[in-house]
A and B are shown apart, each in its own frame.
Chain A
Amino acid sequence: MKRQLLGAVAALAIFAGFTVAAEAKTLVYCSEGSPENFNPQINTTGTSFDAAYPVYNRLVEFKPGTTEIMPALADKWDVSDDGLTYTFHLHKGVKFHSVKGFTPTRDFNADDVVATFNRPWKADDPYHNVSGGAYDYFNDMGMADLLKSIDKVDDYTVKFTLNEPNAPFIANLAMDFAAILSKEYMDAMMKAGTPEQVDQVPVGTGPFIFVDYQKDAVIRYKANPDYFRGKQKIDNLVFAITPDATARMAKLQAGECQIAPYPNPADIEKLKADPNLKVEQQEGLNVGYVSMNVTKKPFDDVRVRQAMNMAIDKDAIIKAVFQGAGKPAVNPIPPTIWSYDKDIKPYPYDPAKAKALLAEAGYANGFTTDLWYMPVQRPYNPDAKKIAELIQADLAKLGITAELKSYEWGEYRKRLQAGEHQMGQLGWTGDNGDPDNFMGVLLSCQSAREGGQNLSKWCNKDFSALIDEAKKTSDVAKRTELYEKAQVIFHDDAPWIPIAHSVVYMPMSKKVVGYKVHPLGTHIFEGVDIQE
């Protein structure tokens, strides 16, 4: 009797197991737009990067939710003492996807890595001119000049040789443009006379296999059964393309999708109140700031720059302009980047002290300056004109007259980079989570040249020396120490008024588990599950 009962229970359990297994789990993500194509080498927009991300892996990747680097297709890598040679040891047994018209015959190996990087890099590569042949990210990250050679040592070892030491190099390889494509697939499509197919029907090694794309409507993926980090818990991933933010949120609330990005700030409270939803948030990898041109009076005086930092009520700006979707900035890098110095105390909002400092600098009665505002909305600055008006009002209290000025966007940036302004607003969104991508690009002496991105034209030899040193070593602990020192100098010398880091909100169904908001803005579905 007991045995029979046990048998019945076992049979029931197996039956239950079958019915659960038979039900396919589908995660629907309401994406905000159609991708340009499915090859991140030739894309420039986040929307397109998102659509390709589930399909591909890179040699190294960002740990979900952070900007730290972890091994991916490369198990480990060695760096030579001079910092010029990177040897990557590749993961064995990684399978490429099978799609309609292509079935791989071999595992991922060094040939794929070489072929992937040759395409954007070598003008004589057969694939170089396919699909328009613009490799904006590869070029903008300076890869073309940085790379000296890429050699296959053996099937599972690849050696990258650089022209000069470059610590952010590893972080660059975690970026979307460095996704690893299949050489076998590229060759097959070239032979078939349809090379563009590679960019439209992606074949990668990633957690999801591309199934189908209907322009402006839907992208479908299914879980990769042979994924090297293990098969995903969800069986199907669907991008339902929904450009209107209100409709996106309505779909989320109606249960037609489980995750939807980019809500209207005004809707966030309502979404938080919905019992079926949760709203995850993270500070975006960006900074909005006001640059003060140190080559022009009165901003050549550090006391004036410090006074300006104390004269402006940042909290009021965050409240009025960002509507809570922003955090006041202290340092030139956002807190989500490693090496962010938490110990630096922000300048307090203190008009009296600012006035005293101005008097000390010889501007007791104030002065007249221009204040430029951007003609467009950016993630780090939703309304530059409003911010300018608030700053103008704050400065007026100290007797400073600020004249507001703006130009058409392209012209605006050109003139700021030329240093025509006294005070001007701009910002930066990080590319790879490396501190050099902010401090080196925006504040070093090299970029203080006319036309450079250092808008304050602030060349502090000590600061620049620290940045240069940090760029040349790949020891993260040492780099962290150097960047922390640099942030202290930045704070004391105050070439900017850092304003804000925007906050990214990600509303999703409460059933979604394991989704982490990525600081670089990519939407990653690896490891995500739906619990009923």
Chain B
Amino acid sequence: MLRFLLTRVSLVIPTFFGVVFLAFLLIHLVPGDPVEVRVGERGIDPVRHAKLLHEMGLDRPLSTQFFDYAGQVLRGDLGLSLVTHRPVLDEFLTLFPATFELAFCAMIFATILGLPAGVLAAVRRGSIFDHVVMGASLTGYSMPIFWWGLLLILTFSVNLHWTPVSGRIALDYFFDPVTGLMTVDSLFSDQEGAFRSALSHLILPTVVLGTIPLAVIARMTRSSMLEVLGEDYIRTARAKGLPGWRVISIHALRNALIPVVTVIGLQVGTLMGGAILTETIFSWPGIGKWLVESINRRDYPALQGGVLLIATLVMTVNLLIDLLYGLLDPRIRHRR
């Protein structure tokens, strides 16, 4: 097990440095001179240009800049935002709870709908229900988030007035964040209706962000179930005269779930990508929206820091899943 652990962790280290390098290159790969971009169309004389370039530290050799940056990152310093002059890490940590709350709800939504849908589709293979699940998941998987989000807003918010258009809570409520999770904070605020408001604001973004994972989980569960249902031990169980639901829930589902859990873990990357669009549509004040704003304002340190932190997060989750998987299924850690 130790050997397995070390191999996996040692693979992550070069990946991490690759990401640091790419994040560093961002500022040099994005077209345009950061100084010119900063001053807009007003134009700038060469003296001030040089001064600003120097202030931004961009006149030093590329290698110096990289080693400085990597050193900074290793010390946990992601620099200051060009725009707010606050540490990038602080900004990230203030906004992360909002993204976490949304992503968590989206995952719950996707799992509690996706698992049963997949199981039922597998059990009733070829039925109308199976075809509906397969068709809907394919549609959901290929749905552009932007279009899907706006469609839901127009239907449920603008026309039916059932849900709010955007934001995390109605503007009448306001209290200082404690955990940063609006659903939790609203319970502590003792303002009547705050929790309900927070919940109603979560509905549409959760559905939009959860749609792709939902589709993936449903399809994965179905195919994994089908594979397991064809195994000998299921036939044995049935032959023993066990009731059908018992065969499916105890014998089949437990084994079918192993790959599904991996897939759920892998959705973290998808969720982060989806969050950028979802948060923008729903004005959800999380890191996705923060990244978009940083791009718009050419706030390179924020952009670099954000990309780095998200990549690190995804890598960490994947590593944990790998380890968990190795723990659950000994065949994997002994494979060479």
Chain A residues at the B interface, C-beta cutoff of 8 Å: 26, 28, 33-34, 36-37, 44-45, 131-132, 136, 139-140, 196, 212, 214-218, 220, 238, 240-244, 246-247, 250-251, 253-254, 256, 378, 408-411, 413-414, 417, 426-429, 451, 453
Contact = CB atoms under 8 A, between A and B. Distances in A.
A220 B32 contact: no
Given A217-B283, A243-B280, A131 B36 contact: no
B186 to A, nearest CB: 14
Nearest to B170: A256
A255 to B, nearest CB: 8
A37 B84 contact: yes
Given A140-B42, A250-B165, A220 B153 contact: no
A49 B42 CA distance: 18
B16 interface: no
B281 A244 contact: yes
Given A240-B283, A243-B283, A408-B31, A217 B94 contact: no
B93 interface: no
Interface in B170-184: 171, 174, 177
Contacts of A220: 174
B168 A217 contact: yes
B85 A131 contact: yes
A247 B282 contact: yes
B167 A217 contact: yes
A246 B293 contact: no
B296 interface: yes
Contacts of A428: 41
Interface residues of B, number: 45
B154 A250 contact: yes
A243 B279 CA distance: 10
A33 B40 contact: no
Nearest to B44: A140
Please provide the 3 A-B residue pairs with the shortest distance between their CB atoms, ordered closest to farther: A410-B36, A216-B285, A410-B33
B108 interface: no
Interface string B152-163: 011001100100
Contacts of A240: 166-167, 171, 283
B148 to A, nearest CB: 13
Given A256-B165, A410-B37, A36 B43 contact: no
B292 A243 contact: yes
Contacts of A244: 166, 280-281, 283
A192 B45 CA distance: 38
A175 B197 CA distance: 40
A410 B83 CA distance: 20
Contact of B165 (A45, A214, A218, A247): A247
Contacts of B37: 409-410
B84 A36 contact: yes
B150 A246 contact: yes
Contacts of B39: 136, 140
B53 to A, nearest CB: 12
B24 interface: no
B32 A254 contact: no
Nearest to A256: B165
Contacts of A217: 167-168, 283, 285
A243 B157 contact: no
11 contacts: A37-B84, A44-B40, A216-B95, A216-B283, A216-B286, A243-B280, A251-B166, A254-B158, A254-B165, A410-B33, A413-B43
A427 B31 CA distance: 21
